[in-house]
């Protein structure tokens, strides 16, 4: 079936998760990050994802804002920066206004011109997603922001992917699901979506029972891919 609906993960896919640490490091008040911000950003993201999986497995759900803060606390301590309340507050604020990748606006505009429905499906809370979309100026290009908070468990639980059909009334085969997380793209493929993995770092494919149907270096080819699938 042709693709009618294009669904995007948010963090790491549309929005650069390293942007918060990078921007903070450029500010005079946070020169302590000048050399360490890449390591901080990497550790922060890794712990953030690990904590979502652990909370999903154990049934101990907490929203993504809390998980993001807890992951940041771990990363700051690992970098010897625990206790810097001002730095923590600034990083958390910047996380709500992450930079969108450069190709995102034109890519979404092309999908809308082609008549595709577009939405985010994310671990983020509704208010976090709304802030990020507003900061990036993408609101007019997205039909909805779908959050795991409506089901109370993180990706890749199938109930999260169920939100797409519930919102758009489409068959799974009509959905092009796009994520920069290999595990997310793989799980979405197992769910029945046509999935595309945005592999910006040229990493190996995750060894999971399912693999994404398409692998791209960035998002610029998504409109062509959505039209080519029939």
- Tell me the pLDDT tens digit for each residue of 142-189: 999 999 999 999 999 999 999 999 999 999 999 999 999 999 999 999
Q: Percentage of the chain with pLDDT > 70?
A: 100
Residue 230 predicted with pLDDT over 90: no
State residue 1's pLDDT score: 84
Max CA-CA distance within the chain?
54
CB proximity list for 28: less than 8 A, separation 6 or greater: none
Pick the CATH number of 17-97 from 3.40.50.2000, 1.10.150.240, 3.40.630.30, 3.30.1860.10: 1.10.150.240
Residue 27 predicted with pLDDT over 90: yes
State residue 97's pLDDT score: 97
Mind listing the pLDDT tens digit for each residue in 78-132? 999 999 999 999 999 999 999 999 999 999 999 999 999 999 999 999 999 999 9
State residue 85's pLDDT score: 95
Region 19-35: mean pLDDT is: 96
- Judge whether 45 and 181 are in contact, CB under 8 Å: no
Rounded Cα gap, residues 116 and 226, in angstroms: 9
Active-site option among 9, 16, 63, 184: 9
CATH number of 5-15+99-228: 3.40.50.1000
Rounded Cα gap, residues 83 and 15, in angstroms: 28
Residue 46 predicted with pLDDT over 90: yes
Mind listing the pLDDT tens digit for each residue in 193-210? 999 999 999 999 999 999
State residue 42's pLDDT score: 98
All structural domains of the chain with their residue ranges: 5-15+99-228, 17-97
Task: Determine whether 9 is an active site residue.
Answer: yes
75-88 b/e with 16+ CB inside 10 Å = b?
bbeebebeebeebb
């Amino acid at each position: 079936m042709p693709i009618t609906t294009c669904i995007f993960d948010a963090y790491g896919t549309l929005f650069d998760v390293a942007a918060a640490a990078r921007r903070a490091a450029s500010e005079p008040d946070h020169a302590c990050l000048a050399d360490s911000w890449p390591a901080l950003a990497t550790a922060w993201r890794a712990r953030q994802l690990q904590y979502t999986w652990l909370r999903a497995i154990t049934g101990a759900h907490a929203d993504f804002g809390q998980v993001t803060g807890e992951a940041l606390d771990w990363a700051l301590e690992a970098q010897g920066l625990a206790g810097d309340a001002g730095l923590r507050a600034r990083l958390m604020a910047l996380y709500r206004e992450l930079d969108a990748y450069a190709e995102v606006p034109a890519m979404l505009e092309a999908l809308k011109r082609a008549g595709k429905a577009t939405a985010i499906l994310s671990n983020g809370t509704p208010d976090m997603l709304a802030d990020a979309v507003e900061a990036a100026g993408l609101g007019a290009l997205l039909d909805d922001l779908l959050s795991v908070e409506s089901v109370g468990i993180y990706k890749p639980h199938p109930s999260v992917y169920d939100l797409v059909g519930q919102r758009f009334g489409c068959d799974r085969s009509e959905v092009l699901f796009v994520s920069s997380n290999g595990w997310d793209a793989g799980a979405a493929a197992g769910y029945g979506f046509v999935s595309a993995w945005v592999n910006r770092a040229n990493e190996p494919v995750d060894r999971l029972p399912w693999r994404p149907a398409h692998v791209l270096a960035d998002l610029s080819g998504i409109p062509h891919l959505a039209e080519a699938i029939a």
